[in-house]
Structure 1
Amino acid sequence: MRTPYCPYCYHELPAQSVMYRCSGRIGRGGQRCETAIDPLLAAYTGDTTPKFPAFSARGRRRGHPACPQCGEVSFQRICGRCHNELPALFGEADTRLIALVGAKESGKTVYMTVLLHELQNRVGEQFGLSVMGADDHTKDMFQEEYEKRLYDQGVLVEATAPARADLNRRPFVFGISLTQRKWGVERLDRSLFSFFDTAGEDLRTKESVERNVRYLTAADGIVLMLDPLQMRAARSLAEPGAQLPTEPRAPDNPANVLARITELLHGALRTGRRGLIGKPIAVVFSKLDALDGTLPEDSVLLRDSPDREPLFDEADSAAVDREVRGLLAHWHGSGMETVLARNYETFRFFGVTALGSSPVRDDKGTRVSGYGVQSRRVQDPFLWLLQQFGTISKKKAQER
């Protein structure tokens, strides 16, 4: 079993590097620790709220450690590198880190919001998944600032700020529980999943991409979000009235984004001249609703994922992959398939729409259209990764 990574700072976190934070209760001798700004936590998150002191528990073999200052036992574990409080399941459940990356205006933030909403509702019910925020920041911030704004107010969440400008940007960490039957026995599997929405500007140049080295290399799987409307051939096919991204620049071109991420991973993972990148990568083309008119009536991309069984439908996913590969030829992007085949052990193409129709702009900003959120296939990349991790089983493709 590999050494787990902290789901907040993405450093390796062996058991001996886990620290504790004083509980703040009055100790046996009547003493109580004072609070102060934690400089490490502030550096990683921008959180300057006074905290009780952090302390190491090295040398203690069993039980929960006592704060060396007040003597009171603490149950609050924190990462020794960033001082974020660790989820209760850390160390007991598999910790899976999923990197969500893409160029500017590719729709990552909206996609993440809709995906997590679906996992907590319709898709979660289908697969028997229990999806809960693993910390207070995730529980409060996701619901209030992302989910409610999009679904209740119809307002699109603002684009993610670049890493250099947003100290408060933190990952969303969710605990996922799933009951599976294997060999006639039901078993409860628990996993932690960490999502970090990197800004598009962080992927425009090689230098800015390198700020995300730790995040990408720690990830178990990668979701690469690309906007076909940033490809000139596809952009010209968009339906009338579709909201188009800014005129595409070379750094935001999907092929260039894929090339920079691939170069980064090769260097960080030291794959060598002949080595392949072992992390599964889901290459997701967003905003397909703007191109619905170019698809045949029987296109698999025009219908949502099958929801009849709590299994990953391999036949359906393979059909999506084949159709997107065909579209790439029309979008003048076939070279991307070759790049993936020559550099990754496992990859798959996906096509999604998080909103179902193009958003509209008014004096209050960018809003969901009058049809509301009508997502299609947003769960496919995540379910594919879950199947790659062995979290869910797959329905095998039918013999033809």
Structure 2
Amino acid sequence: MAVNSTSPGTKKITCVICLEEFEWNERDAYRRESSGPAVRITLPPRNSAKWGAEVQSAVLRCPNEVNRVPHYFPVDFVLYERPVVIGFVGTTMAGKTCLLAAMSGEIDRQRLTPRGLRTVPVNLTEHYRYRTEVVDPFFDEGLAPPHTNRRELVSYTDAVLITTDDGRTFPLVFFDAAGEQLRGLQQDSMALRFLQRVDGLIFVVDPDLIGDGSGRAGTSILDDPTFGATIAGLRFRPMRGGRLQLPAAIAITKSDTLRFTAPVDRWLSRPTPANADREAIRQESQDAYAFLHQRRATAWLAPVDRFQWCTLHFVSASGASYLKSDGTPGAGRFVRPARPRRVLEPLMALLAMIEEHTTHAQGD
């Protein structure tokens, strides 16, 4: 993580939970026991033989409490490169929570390893609670993840440490943006911090809301509140030629329901590539763009026009049909355990664009 020195002996760091910056003296930390409150500790000097053992279970307490509740994150997150923050944008029913759960589950199952990205589980309470309550039931039993909590415009979802083949290590942090409510973001400090701090966005498209390609618009809407509100909130980010200098990807979810429809069938049956294939990404983006444009779903193509870099992907988080809930909490489920298809493709394309954008920015 890149840090900026402030007063002697302190560093400015970013909380990976709320994205607030604060100063840390590299010594004060906490240790969380299995029960009871976190206990304050003092870390040994970095050159001490005890440093490695002590820092592994240490956490930092962010001074910026969320809803008056303190939150903690591992010291590991401030020992490496600057966190890469990814935001997910989409309506409640677009399949965004399923995509997040599927992506997190695939990462935990080391699906990024063949692509040269090693992941390390983070000893973070929120991560294990998210996996136990959301990811594992989705993968093991086909239980549908609960919908995003609408009380917060932007919420931390999950995080993992990633190490590349060239030895770089950085935290990858996922945030869920309630796009349809971001119109009131001027009064929400967390949403404002998120929009100014996010490194890349994944816009989630619901194919259930678009036409069938026959010229009828189906239930397609003229203006997508999630996409429009998010893009409007980014208007103070750097731009060039009228386009935002921020990587974005569009994920067409529930693509398993279109697996016999061209060109979706071509991509869902395609083997997962071992490395990022730029030509394949370009071809899939063209096919996905044509797919949405033909169905008059132009509202979902706004990121292509507004972002300097934008890719499009066909994905399937569950790979199964959804059985509607009977109204009982937690009753929603799929016909079988989740079998994700291509859910990591938007993330891989986004990470490649972020790296390229960062390299160009450092060269300017």
Instruction: Decide whether aligned partners of structure 1 residues 163 and 271 sit closer, same or farther in structure 2, where only a CA change above 3 A counts.
Output: farther
User: Could you tell me how far apart the structure 1 residues matched to 2:131 and 2:304 are?
Assistant: 38
Contact 1:221 1:280 in 2 (8 A): yes
Structure 1: stretches of 5+ with no match in the other structure: 26-47, 65-73, 181-186, 239-243, 392-400
Who is 1:45 aligned against?
none
Would you say the 8 A contact 2:238–2:245 is kept in 1? no
Map of 1:110-149 to 2, 5 A cutoff? 110-121=98-109, 123-149=111-137
- Cα distance change of structure 1 residues 154 and 222 upon mapping to structure 2, 3 Å threshold: same
What root-mean-square deviation, in Å, do the aligned CA atoms of Structure 1 and Structure 2 show? 3.8
- Superposed, 1:365-380 pairs within 5 Å as 365-370=331-336, 372-380=337-345
Corresponding position of 1:107: 95
Letter in 2 for 1:188: G
**Which residue of 2 is the match for residue 350 of structure 1?**
313
SS across alignment from 1:280: strand
Contact 1:203 1:209 in 2 (8 A): no
CA 231–376 in structure 1, closer or farther in 2 if over 3 Å, else same = same
Aligned residue for 1:295? 262
* In the alignment, structure 1 residue 207 sits paired with structure 2 residue 184: yes
Residue 226 of structure 1 and its aligned partner are, at CA, apart by 1.7
Amino acid aligned to 1:87: P
Please identify the structure whose Cα radius of gyration is greater.
1
Q: Distance in 2 between matches of 1:314 and 1:327?
A: 20
1:58-73 matched pairs, under 5 angstroms? none
> Which TM-score applies when normalising by structure 2?
0.75
Report the alpha carbon displacement of residue 205 of structure 1 after superposing the two structures with TM: 5.6
- Residue 258 of structure 1: CA displacement? 1.9
Please give the per-residue CA displacement for 1:132-178, whole angstroms capped at 9, x wherever unaligned.
33233244213211122112222111111113499xx6431211223
Query: Quick one: distance in 1 between partners of 2:32 and 2:286?
Result: 57
How many residues are treated as equivalent by the alignment? 328
Instruction: Please say if residues 305 and 380 of structure 1, whose CA atoms lie closer than 8 Å, have aligned partners that are also in contact.
Output: no
* Counterpart in the other structure of 1:44: none
How big is each residue's C-alpha offset from its partner over 1:182-219, in whole Å with a ceiling of 9 and x where there is no partner? xxxxx4221101112234xx524611586422223211
Task: Select 1:92's aligned residue among 56, 79, 86.
Answer: 79
Aligned residue runs from structure 1 range 193-342, under 5 A: 193-199=172-178, 202-204=179-181, 206-207=183-184, 211=188, 212-232=191-211, 255-267=224-236, 269=237, 271=239, 275-296=242-263, 299-307=265-273, 309=274, 311-334=275-298, 336-337=300-301, 339-342=302-305
Q: d(CA) in 1 for partners of 2:46 and 2:79?
A: 16
Q: Deviations over 1:21-74 (max 9, x none)?
A: 45699xxxxxxxxxxxxxxxxxxxxxx96444699x9xx99889xxxxxxxxx9
User: Could you say if the C-alpha distance between residues 89 and 205 of structure 1 is closer, same or farther in structure 2, counting changes exceeding 3 Å?
Assistant: closer
In structure 2, the residue matched to 1:5 is 14
TM-score (norm 1): 0.69
CA distance in 1 between counterparts of 2:305 and 2:32 reads 55
What is the CA–CA distance in structure 1 between the aligned matches of 2:227 and 2:157, rounded to whole Å? 22
Q: For 1:377 and 1:108, locate their aligned partners in 2 and report how far apart those are by CA, in whole Å.
A: 14
**1:1-29 CA deviation, whole Å, 9 max, x = no partner?**
5765321011234556x78345699xxxx
Q: Does 1:390 align with 2:361?
A: no
* Contact 1:221-1:281 within 8 A present in 2 as well: yes
Seen in structure 2, the aligned counterparts of structure 1 residues 9 and 295 have a Cα distance that, compared at 3 Å, is same
In 2: Cα distance, 1:236 partner to 1:143 partner: 42
Letter paired with 1:86: F
Structure 2 residue aligned with 1:20 = 28
Q: Which runs of 5+ in 2 are unaligned?
A: 5-12, 49-56, 357-364
2:73 alignment partner, SS class: coil
Kept after mapping to 2: 8 A contact 1:209/1:261: no
Q: How far does the alpha carbon of each residue in 1:221-250 deviate from its partner, in whole angstroms, 9 at most, with x for none?
A: 111112121235579999xxxxx9xx77x5
Change (3 A) 1:52 1:237: farther
Once the 2 structures are TM-superposed, how far is the Cα of residue 280 of structure 1 from its aligned partner? 0.4
* Percent sequence identity over aligned pairs: 18
Q: Distance in 2 between matches of 1:22 and 1:259?
A: 41
Q: Aligned in 2, Cα 1:225/1:24: closer, same or farther, shift over 3 Å?
A: closer
Contact 1:300 1:320 in 2 (8 A): no
Query: Secondary structure of 1:175's match?
Result: strand
d(CA) in 2 for partners of 1:264, 1:81: 22
1:78 has 2:66 as partner: no
CA distance in structure 1 between the partners assigned to 2:31 and 2:230 by the alignment:
42
> 2:30–2:41: 8 Å Cα contact kept in structure 1?
yes
| Secondary structure in 1 matching 2:102 | helix
Answer yes or no: is the 8 Å Cα contact 2:127–2:159 preserved in 1.
no
Higher strand share: 2
